Amino acid sequence: AQSVAQPEDQVNVAEGNPLTVKCTYSVSGNPYLFWYVQYPNRGLQFLLKYITGDNLVKGSYGFEAEFNKSQTSFHLKKPSALVSDSALYFCAVRDSMNTGFQKLVFGTGTRLLVSP
């Protein structure tokens, strides 16, 4: 069965500095990987996904993520953090071998706090 780990409950970064939110995964086959962001009292918003192809995926709001198969990781990055990036971030994985229903497995989330 697939699983996702987000090892950090919270990440603190100063505005203007680069940020990284970590995610590692486990699947039987090839992974489909996703990042979602949740702002307070809102639903999850899709940021980006890796299905196949280029290991560096670019998404919304200047975020990007790098797929690393050997390390089974899909870390979320941004070169320069904004205070408005402060939110809860979820990594999710789906096994490409699961061609039936699209069961996504979510991590427990990482809270990002960007200080002015």
Partner 1 sequence: DAGITQSPRYKITETGRQVTLMCHQTWSHSYMFWYRQDLGHGLRLIYYSAAADITDKGEVPDGYVVSRSKTENFPLTLESATRSQTSVYFCASSESPTTSGRKGDTQYFGPGTRLTVL
Nearer to partner 1, 54 or 101 (CB): 101
Q: Provide, rounded to whole angstroms, the least separation between the CB of residue 18 and partner 1.
A: 25
Q: Provide, rounded to whole angstroms, the least separation between the CB of residue 13 and partner 1.
A: 22
99 binds partner 1 (CB under 8 A): yes
Instruction: Choose the stretch contacting partner 1; rule: CB under 8 A; options: 15-23, 32-40, 62-70, 78-86.
Output: 32-40
Nearer to partner 1, 9 or 116 (CB): 9
CA dist 108 and 9 (Å) reads 8
CA dist 35 and 45 (Å) reads 9
67 binds partner 1 (CB under 8 A): no
3-state secondary structure the chain: CCEEECCCCEEEEECCCCEEECCEEECCCCEEEEEEEECCCCCEEEEEEECCCCCEEECHHHCEEEEECCCCEEEEEECCCCHHHCEEEEEEEEECCCCCCCCCEECCCEEEEEEC
Nearer to partner 1, 70 or 102 (CB): 102
54 binds partner 1 (CB under 8 A): no
Among 8, 15, 49, 82, binds partner 1 (CB under 8 A): 49
Q: Provide, rounded to whole angstroms, the least separation between the CB of residue 22 and partner 1.
A: 15
